């Protein structure tokens, strides 16, 4: 059921047709097709090569190396010189090539010996050399919409020469919708599920194979969640998890955590992110948040999974519902910037350690006021280096418990400025 022309391609409307990059009929540039599995990267490469009148050569970065590349390049150069025949080299999973292998492509792409079309499921900004990336246009493919997958399923059920049209199948609209919905935007998965579902059912008294919800579930077994722990989707889901907690949405936060856990993510990684979040995004607005997150980490280490999902869920709900403050993050960032700007400023004498008579004679520790000798265990004093004595790194938020600290901090700073 692979499309035989660009007109048969479904989805990717942002790329196809007049005025879009893959709809242009000018000379085919080198491309990096970046998108999830089953979105048509290989198909598009073949069809674009055909439209440009070029010879198509496909290699897999998993199975090929520099030796195979050199053979393809030598042949492409010969054909270009003898017959003016251009070659499109399709390199599947280009992110699997190391730097040296990617560098081997550069002169041939630069000299126009081949037009390169690389396919990757990973972010090319991280996985493709900058030199090679600068010679290619990056084209982002999106997961197919359920409506697109439904169209492909309908075609497969009707087509007798390339699809399943001769098998006398019956598949209700709601069952087709189920396959489309559960295929995660992957055309290959949708068509494979349909094919297996057709194989597991037996003909009824009429000789018709009726594909049911049960046969589809049998064909799917258990949906494999798209989640490469070392890849781009990993970071997308982690980002969604953090931003949902930051946005105080417990439902979304638990959903994204479940997505990670059900896809096989290390629970310790997830809870560590919660520990960071407890300081970065909740902080002093609710100091208990850090204790809850660390307790969840200890609990997961103690009982493991699946029981550990319970303290994890408790912690996520607490963090999502807690008042928010990023003053911990901003305070350290400002202090770090001051250190970078001013360098190693000298410690004021009154704050220096004075364990020896010589140090005391040099003024170390002189004039230091011991807070516990004063009422309320506080005395107005300046503790920053002289060059930055008026800097203020910590600005309390008005959220949660931190709001109670704000007035106290302001009062003490005023006393410090006046020397009271």
Read off the pLDDT of residues 104-156 as tens digits, 9 standing for 90 and up. 899 999 999 999 999 998 889 888 989 999 999 999 999 999 999 999 999 99
166-196 pLDDT, tens digit each: 999 999 999 999 999 888 889 999 999 999 9
Report the C-alpha gap between 322 and 216 in whole angstroms. Answer: 42
Give 46 or 222, the one with higher predicted confidence: 46
Report the C-alpha gap between 201 and 169 in whole angstroms. Answer: 10
**Residues 6+ away with beta carbon under 8 Å from 241:** 253, 256, 257, 260, 270, 273
Q: Average pLDDT, stretch 281-308? A: 94
Q: For 232-321, CATH number? A: 1.20.272.10
Encoding tokens for residue 199? 């194989």
Q: Length of the chain in residues, anyone?
A: 420
pLDDT band at residue 265 under the 50/70/90 scheme: confident
Q: Average pLDDT, stretch 215-233? A: 70
Give the residue extent of every domain in the chain.
Answer: 6-140, 146-220, 232-321, 343-418
CATH topology of domain 343-418: post-AAA+ oligomerization domain-like (1.10.3710)
Predicted local distance difference test score (pLDDT) of residue 186: 92
- Least confident range from 110-114, 273-277, 400-404: namely 400-404
**Cα-only R_g, the chain:** 31
Q: For 6-140, CATH number? A: 3.40.50.300
CATH topology of domain 146-220: Helicase, Ruva Protein; domain 3 (1.10.8)
- C-alpha 162 chain-centroid distance: 37
Predicted local distance difference test score (pLDDT) of residue 17: 72
Give 418 or 277, the one with higher predicted confidence: 277
Decide whether 6-140 matches 232-321 in CATH topology. Answer: no
């Amino acid at each position: 059921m692979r499309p035989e022309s660009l007109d048969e391609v479904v989805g990717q409307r942002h790329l196809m047709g007049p005025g879009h990059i893959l709809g242009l009929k000018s000379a085919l540039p080198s491309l990096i097709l970046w998108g999830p599995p089953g979105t048509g990267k290989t198909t598009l490469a073949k069809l674009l090569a055909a439209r440009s009148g070029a010879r198509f050569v496909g290699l897999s970065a998993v199975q090929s190396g520099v030796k195979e590349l050199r053979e393809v390049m030598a042949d492409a150069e010969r054909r270009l010189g003898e017959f003016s025949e251009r070659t499109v080299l399709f390199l599947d999973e280009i992110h699997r090539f190391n730097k040296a292998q990617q560098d081997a492509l550069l002169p041939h792409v630069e000299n126009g010996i081949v037009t390169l079309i690389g396919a990757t499921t990973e972010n090319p900004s991280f996985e493709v050399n900058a030199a090679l990336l600068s010679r290619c246009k990056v084209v982002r493919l999106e997961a197919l919409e359920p409506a697109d997958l439904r169209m492909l399923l309908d075609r497969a059920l009707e087509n007798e020469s390339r699809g399943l049209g001769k098998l006398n199948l019956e598949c209700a609209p709601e069952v087709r919708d189920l396959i489309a919905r559960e295929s995660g935007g992957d055309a290959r998965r949708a068509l494979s599920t349909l094919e297996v579902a057709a194989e597991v059912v037996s003909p009824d008294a009429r000789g018709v194979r009726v594909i049911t919800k049960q046969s589809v579930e049998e064909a799917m077994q258990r949906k494999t969640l798209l989640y490469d722990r070392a890849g781009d989707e990993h970071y997308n889901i982690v980002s969604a998890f953090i931003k949902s907690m930051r946005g105080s949405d417990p439902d979304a936060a638990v959903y994204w955590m479940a997505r990670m856990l059900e896809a096989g993510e290390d629970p310790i990684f997830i809870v560590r992110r919660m520990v960071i979040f407890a300081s970065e995004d909740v902080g002093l607005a609710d100091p208990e948040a850090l204790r809850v997150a660390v307790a969840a980490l200890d609990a997961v280490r103690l009982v493991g999974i699946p029981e550990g999902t319970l303290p994890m869920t408790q912690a996520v709900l607490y963090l999502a519902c807690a008042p928010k403050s990023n003053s911990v993050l901003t305070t350290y960032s400002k202090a770090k910037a001051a250190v970078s700007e001013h360098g190693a400023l000298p410690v004021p004498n009154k704050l220096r350690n004075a364990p020896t008579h010589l140090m005391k004679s040099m003024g170390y520790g002189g004039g230091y006021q011991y807070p516990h000798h004063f009422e309320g265990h506080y005395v107005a004093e300046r503790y920053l280096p002289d060059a930055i004595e008026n800097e203020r790194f910590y600005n309390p938020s008005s959220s949660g418990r931190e709001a109670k600290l704000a007035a106290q901090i302001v009062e003490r700073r005023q006393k410090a400025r006046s020397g009271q």
